Structure 1
């Protein structure tokens, strides 16, 4: 089953996605997309790894090339998050660049074949109504393309607003 969880900044989307994972069968794998740029990032990653270990997550760091991930076993996978992955692929010298959306979507498809439940977390885009220019607009358009294609493919799509999940497709009990 593929579930897309979207929401704005600090909406509760990550907490809800983790809650969904905790309702799903073991093993649990967390695909972390944050790139480690400095000591502060490294400390944050270490803190999050420790928190996830308590919840029986195995963590795989995946800041780029999602399509190359080989899961060690079936079960439930939480990918946190598509916004980071999109930025990494779009702007990193080793990233997919102009082919970012296609690369990420191919990776999602590959993951769905390797696990029973795949939960994707992503940022809501374009709901603010602002016009953006240059690289920001490019990033938002690529992330929107990824979100739209993932939503079309997903069994469930849920938007989290102020910690409240609202299902647009499927349901929590699928």
Structure 2
């Protein structure tokens, strides 16, 4: 049986991470968590601490904010990996001045070659107002493009709104 790639989309505080965690808990595989956030201030520290408590024990956590490929390629079929989240990863790439097309292609290649089941969390950012500055508009466009290619490569895509999952593609394993 081939591995499953599930993409969980939603707005900020929509319940997407909690839903993704439930998918991982329902799996008999070893749970791994690939965190892309950086602790840049006390607010981010509180948010990350909340996520750690919410997740509970039984996870092996990896922290990497830019180069996800070596970690994804190290996983095997006995694992399920929650990548949380593609939005923070993209923000990190943008702020580091990296070429987003190259970074995105490297991520897609790593996802394709990864042997573990993957659950990827990403924000849907295109449903609000047009940002008032060039950097925010660049990010919004890049995030939309990233979500499109992630959805193309995913076996299952779920949009979470107000904690309610709506399956857009495939079936949740």
TM range (shorter): 0.7 to 0.9
Of 70-79 and 36-45, deviating more is 36-45
Assess if the C-alpha contact under 8 Å between 2:76 and 2:116 holds in 1: no
Query: In angstroms, what is the RMSD of aligned CA positions?
Result: 2.1
SS across alignment from 1:171: coil
Give TM-score, length-normalised by structure 2.
0.85
TM-score, scaled relative to structure 1: 0.84
**Of the candidates 35, 39, 55, which is equivalent to residue 38 of structure 2?**
35
- Structure 2's unaligned 5+ residue stretches are none
Distance 2:75 2:156 in 1: 25
Residue 51 of structure 1: CA displacement? 4.7
Residue correspondence of structure 1 range 59-70 to structure 2 within 5 A? 59-69=61-71, 70=73
| CA distance in structure 2 between the aligned counterparts of 1:117 and 1:38, rounded to whole angstroms | 32
Task: Verify: 1:168 aligned to 2:168, yes or no.
Answer: yes
| CA deviation map 1:147-169 (0-9, x unaligned) | 00000111001100111111110
Deviations for 1:44-97, whole angstroms, at most 9, x for unmatched residues? 54554455351x1100001111123243543100010111111001102xxx62
Structure 1: any 5+ residue segments left out of the alignment? none
Partner of 1:157: 157
Alignment size in residue pairs: 167
